Structure 1
Amino acid sequence: MNDDGLIGLLLNFRDATRSARCVRSLLDEGVPRVLVWDNSADEGVSASQLRDIFSSDPRVIIEVSANNLGFAMGVNRSIRLATERLGASTVLIINNDATLMVGALRALRGEAAARPQAAVISMDIDHAGTRGGVQFYQRLSGLLFARPVAGTFSYASGCCLWIDMRRVPLPLFDEAFFMYGEDWELGWRLRQMPGMWIHLPSLLVSHEGSASSKLGSTFYETHMVAAHLLLARRLGRSATEAVFLSATRLPVLLARAVLRSMRYRSLRPLRALGSGARLAWRRLG
């Protein structure tokens, strides 16, 4: 996997400060160009702030979306722009609230050269002080695990991914997912294509986590419920199995909502059960 046409890619949502810090970390590591897809839908205010910061740096390209497309669609659109208009052959996707650690690009280049058959490379990430690598999603319950257990499949966080555009099937993410869950679905698809995804067990990224949507917020709780229900439909090999997998998630989602309502002393997680289910239904429609 050759990175001669490497472009860094991140989405910005009304947070020029974090996005600028992320961009600088990419440039400092030697990423030759960085594309910022502005999802802010704030009449160009956030994009203007970023342009002011990088006005004298031609390596930074800022593209403004008229609407907030969400993560999956925003990444897919920016990948299309990077490949069709900017000539990218390799894309390094990174969350705007994350930064590359020193030596990250060198490590990724080395792994790409050593494993030319791979289309996707993930890496260990420091999530606000907790190291995370490959994670596991249980198909029946929707529970997440740090180690493989019965009935799970592996996936990598979408926080930072090295993508060889010449090998990866496009679109990269399922656009039914607005935010959260698209990395689970990607893991399920890559599981069916052996050798396409490899994980580099080196700590290369520092991630603040949930900067654009606060944990416990109505947005977070609603979209997380929707993500689990959407994925149940994607994991089903038939309509009957999809309904069954949706049903098996309901007790888990209810228990999760009760525990989170107690933790945050708020009814938002419980209310999100209904709003998340309705959102999933609309997204599937």
Structure 2
Amino acid sequence: MKVDAHMTPGDVVGLVLHFRTPQRTLSCLDSLRREGITEVVIVDNSQDGGDSVLAMTLGIKALSERGMRATVLPQERNLGFAAGVNVGIRHIISEYSADVLLINSDATLGSGALAAMRQLLPDATLVAPYASAADGGQLQSPLVFYQKYLALYLRRPVLGSINYPSGSCLLVRRDYVRTDIFDDEFFFYGEDVMLGHRITEGDDVFRDCPSATIVHGGSVSSKNGSRFYEYHMNRAHWLLARKLAANHLERFVCVFLRCITLPLRALVRSFRWRSLTPLIGLGWATSDVLRGRYRDLTPPVAR
């Protein structure tokens, strides 16, 4: 493992997945710079021939002049969230020995957030800040729950639920920076649930930090109600049924109950959106999981 000569043991490397939002990504990077982060790795998942990264050239140059060094890792296709993060982590491990701040490109770090989160690192493997939407609203804890039998995302724990940290912003202690931090069988959803499950099953700890905040916008690639969203959300639910089950009986229960809850969810969403897309997404996801395949459904580039 190499360490940059100008880095100190207390440094943090930023890791950002970029997807076709140059201005949002630059705003995210600038918020990291204001918090004292001078090294950042950008994984380009845009699948647009490098156009959106090219649009950031002047912005990245301006950040460089203000002390931030950005390394862009272009990808030929959209790898998805989990695999994209793992690509960035592999690069960081090869170049640095540092804590890693993973943050969505549509999020900005609040003033003092990094310092507040780092105060908790000695006693936690992962630390996550509170988040608010770009249009305001109440701050939300990053710690949420997944009911593994009914495939429900919840704000409060119930029987059979798994606590996990939202992946929109995570500060990862350097001894937990690993190339398989996320299960890359998941394309865009579910990997954070698996991360929480793995941590709670082991000796590691994750914590939220109420004194640290981010402002989190909406992702263009995962628009609620889109075919991309419906397909990958349902696919994640089916994968979680297999991966979270402790034995064959529990797996049967998870699958059986999903045969009820997922179609009901799709029907409600189809009615709400007045579209067959949720039902189509469920059908495709179910078929593909049974056949052991997947489709990324990355939206085409708008010209």
The answer to whether the superposition gives a TM-score over 0.5 is: yes
- Match of 2:201? 192
Residue 285 of structure 2 is aligned to residue 279 of structure 1: no
Residue 69 of structure 2 is aligned to residue 59 of structure 1: yes
Aligned residue for 1:21, secondary structure, equals: helix
Shift in Å at residue 226 of structure 1? 0.4
What pairs up with 1:10-89 in 2 under 5 angstroms? Answer: 10-56=16-62, 57=64, 58-85=68-95, 87-89=96-98
- 1:3 and 1:231 map into 2 onto residues whose CA distance is 37
Q: One-letter code of the match for 1:158?
A: G
Gaps of 5+ in 2: 1-7, 295-303
**2:90–2:178 Cα contact (<8 Å) kept:** no
Aligned-pair identity in percent equals 39
* 1:3–1:100 CA distance, 2 compared to 1 (3 A): farther
Aligned residue for 2:119, secondary structure, equals: helix
Residue 159 of structure 2 is aligned to residue 150 of structure 1: yes
- 2:248 and 2:57 map into 1 onto residues whose CA distance is 48
Shift in Å at residue 184 of structure 1? 0.9
- Match of 2:215? 206
**1:227–1:280 Cα contact (<8 Å) kept:** no
**1:13–1:40 Cα contact (<8 Å) kept:** yes
Determine which of 255, 261, 275 is the counterpart of 2:270: 261
Alignment coverage as a number of residue pairs: 279
- 2:9 and 2:129 map into 1 onto residues whose CA distance is 17
Gaps of 5+ in 1: none
The C-alpha deviation readout for 1:222-258, integer Å capped at 9, x for no partner, is 1100011111110112345324312211211111111
- 1:144 and 1:43 map into 2 onto residues whose CA distance is 35
Determine which of 167, 174, 180 is the counterpart of 2:183: 174
Structure-1-length-normalised TM-score: 0.91
What pairs up with 1:90-129 in 2 under 5 angstroms? Answer: 90-112=99-121, 116-128=122-134, 129=137
Aligned residue for 1:55, secondary structure, equals: helix
- 2:158 and 2:187 map into 1 onto residues whose CA distance is 28
- 2:9 and 2:184 map into 1 onto residues whose CA distance is 26
- Match of 1:245? 254
